[in-house]
A and B are shown apart, each in its own frame.
Chain A
Amino acid sequence: MNTSPTSEHKPIVPPRKPRTWRDHVWSGVKWLLLVMFLAYLWASFVRTEFNLYTLVAGAKDIKKVMLELAHPDLSWYVYETERVPLLDEAGQPRLDSEGVPLTHAVLVLEDGKPVIKLDSRTNKPKLGTLPTLLDSMNETVQISLIGTLIAVILSFPLAFFASRNLTRGTSTGLVLYGATRFVFNVLRAFPPYILAIIFVFMVGPGPFPGVLALGLHSIGMLGKLFSEAIESVDPAPIEAVKATGASNFMVVWYGILPQVVPQFLAFSLYRWDINIRMSIILGIVGAGGIGFLLDQYIRMFKYSQASTCFLIILVAVTLLDYASAYFREKLG
């Protein structure tokens, strides 16, 4: 039996620096910061009125709403009876376009038998909720499409000036770089929601302010993404094209563009994807599209129509999401 203690059997004590008064103060500060953070967390719960009881108690109040939401209005036509006084202001019978006096009902003979029929002239079919909403969903998609297109067209040339690797070296380049970066940052800083409110004031409610808001905001986002793609290109082809005696423009066009085009297209598609969802929100401040109608339905407590909105948005966003993912995969 080995009685002599060998170093193998002794527990290893790692060398440790002795703690100075500074270490003690620092660990005290760390504890204090942790306590302060937890207190802030608690204050945040209080401030946001976070309360599960209220949530459960409120559930019964929205029963009617939930029932209506569960029954979306999918009518293609609605028949509305137009209520028109039978006599006009002068006390004479009101005539229709064929010169026949208006009645509530008409008596007609069908196969020799008298049948009472509602006067079809006063019972007009009108497009129902579904076609109206499909049309405004289409408007939403079109708003986002034009907004994105404008942003792509404008940010494409600007992105080259906002790339470090292209503007390095000359003072003009440095100024252009700073200026374009600043413009992108300013455009990104304004949420599209705020931009839409401004443009609704400028050009009136409708799809146009939506296009402007999305376009302007997307320039900032796309410009940043585009310029970052340009900054990460392989410099070898650039030098090779330069060595053929090409002009600066041609060096960019041949040395850089083929490298970044797939990324540019993928970013643009992704931005369109975001803008479709964004333009629904913009409808609420009067910038057209399905969001405008959704807001109105909710304000008028028409929940089954609002439910139709949600359904259509869900279907459209899902379809476009798949399409966008498919194309981005193809490009990548």
Chain B
Amino acid sequence: MATPVFQTVKLCLTYPDGTQALREVDFAIGAGEVVAVIGKSGAGKSTLLRCLNGLLTPTKGEVLFRGRPVHSTKAHARMVRRDVGMIFQNFGLVPRVSVLTNVLIGRAGQLPTWRGLFFWFTPEERQLGLRALQRVEILDQWQKRPADLSGGQQQRVAIARALCQEPAVLLADEPVSSLDPATARVVLDYAVRICREEGIAMVANLHSVALAREYSDRVVAFKDGRVAFEGPPTQLTDEVLKEVYGEHFADF
């Protein structure tokens, strides 16, 4: 494997209230790889994603983006975030502005402040946004406001916003947890298909083991802030799942 897109070295994060969310996590993702991260709530999945793109600063250890440390300075963490798309469980769309503007907000990192001030986007940027909307097949809704869309459509807009950044990696923090199973599949289909076509690496926190098995090249399971399992979905046996989720895993 060439230089991994993201690599963490003995990553530790302890929250101010004393919760140890990550304990010496070593984790890597190669270019174009689709990785599913599973684990119980509070196992450190979301914390890991936020450490990767510098939204959270680790207490110990390092995150490398294409071989360079993410957390060296705040400005550098910002530069990294430009190249890393992220989608969220609750979509994080900006209310009261159009779908297209929401997608173009993906360019916020690259935009000069004076243009951002007036929501002024160049025709090229608009084309980029419209193309991203076309990729997730929601182009006909471009003038609507996010509140007028269904949950699945909103998450597709969020995917388009991340695409608009032309990212190297897409981080997905429980992208389909607030959607019904059918819609979840549709949305995840879009995200994974586009990532594979564009060669974008993807790290997705998933609550559903079935979806993780189906979509990912590799599964990483977290337990109490540590990596409990790492390997292809085929190796994800019932014993492993029992280890990760505890005795009650048999219920699903």
- Give A contacts to B, CB under 8 Å: 234, 236-237, 239-247, 249-251, 253-255, 258-259, 261-262
CB proximity of A171 to chain B, nearest CB, Å: 15
Q: A240-B93, A258-B95 are in contact. Are A247 and B78 (CB under 8 A)?
A: yes
B residues touching A (Cβ–Cβ < 8 Å)? 53, 55, 78-86, 88, 90-97, 105-111, 113, 116-117, 158, 161, 165, 171
- Show 19 A/B contacts (Cβ-Cβ < 8 Å), sorted by A: A237-B93, A237-B95, A239-B55, A240-B92, A240-B158, A242-B55, A243-B84, A244-B86, A244-B106, A244-B108, A245-B108, A245-B165, A247-B109, A250-B116, A253-B117, A254-B105, A258-B96, A259-B95, A259-B96
* A331 → chain B closest CB, angstroms: 11
Report the nearest A residue to B167, measured CB to CB.
Answer: A244
Question: Cβ of B116 and Cβ of A237 under 8 Å apart?
Answer: no
* C-alpha gap A176/B158 in the complex (Å): 34
Say whether chain A's binding surface is mostly helix, strand, loop, or mixed: helix
Query: What CA separation (Å) do A234 and B109 show in the bound complex?
Result: 21
CB distance from B212 to the nearest CB of A (A): 22
Known: A249-B113, A253-B116, A261-B96. A241 touches B91 (CB 8 A): no
Tell me the minimal C-beta distance from A153 to chain B in angstroms: 16
B82 touches A244 (CB 8 A): yes
> Contacts A236-B88, A253-B117 hold; do A246 and B94 have CB atoms under 8 A apart?
no
Q: Which residues of A contact B171 (CB under 8 A)?
A: 243
**Closest A-B pairs by Cβ, 5 of them:** A240-B92, A245-B109, A245-B82, A245-B81, A246-B108
Nearest CB in chain B to that of A262: its residue? B96
- Seed contacts A237-B95, A247-B78; 16 additional CB < 8 Å A-B pairs: A237-B92, A240-B93, A240-B158, A241-B94, A241-B105, A241-B108, A242-B81, A243-B53, A244-B106, A244-B108, A244-B161, A245-B84, A246-B78, A249-B113, A249-B116, A254-B94
Judging by beta carbons under 8 Å apart, are B96 and A239 in contact? no
Q: Which residue of A lies closest to B77 (CB)?
A: A245
B93 — which chain A residues lie within 8 A by C-beta? 237, 240
Q: How far apart are the CA atoms of A211 and B128 in the complex, in Å?
A: 48
* Contact assessment for A254 and B116 in the assembled complex, using a CB-CB cutoff below 8 Å: yes
Which B residues touch A240, using CB under 8 A? 86, 88, 91-94, 158, 161
**Min distance, Cβ A278 to any Cβ of chain B, angstroms:** 31
A261 to B97, CA, bound (A): 11
Q: Given the known inter-chain contacts A236-B90, A239-B55, A253-B117, please indicate yes or no for A244 contacting B109, CB distance below 8 A.
A: yes
B161 to chain A minimum Cβ distance, whole angstroms, is 7
Residues of B within 8 A of A261 (CB): 96
Task: Give chain A nearest CB distance to B65 CB in angstroms.
Answer: 12
Residue of B nearest to A260 (CB): B96
Given contacts A244-B82, A247-B113, contact A234 B88 (CB under 8 A): no
In the docked arrangement, what's the CA distance between A242 and B53, Å?
Answer: 10
Query: A173 to chain B: closest CB distance in Å?
Result: 14
Q: Once bound together, how far apart are the Cα atoms of A245 and B97, in whole Å?
A: 20
Please, which residue of chain A has its CB at the minimum distance from the CB of B105? Answer: A254
Say whether A246 contacts B95, CB under 8 Å. no
B75 nearest in chain A by CB position: A247
Q: What is the CA–CA distance of A250 and B96 in the complex, to the nearest angstrom?
A: 17
Contact across chains for A246 and B109 when beta carbons are under 8 A apart = yes
Residue of B with least CB distance to A261: B96
Nearest-Cβ distance from residue A253 to partner chain B, whole angstroms: 6
Question: Bound state CA distance, A237 and B116, in angstroms?
Answer: 16
Whole-angstrom distance between the alpha carbons of A62 and B109 in the complex? 72
> Which of A239, A242, A250 is B111 in contact with, Cβ under 8 Å?
A250
Which A residues are CB-close (under 8 A) to B55?
A: 239, 242-243
> How close is B214's CB to chain A, nearest CB, in angstroms?
26
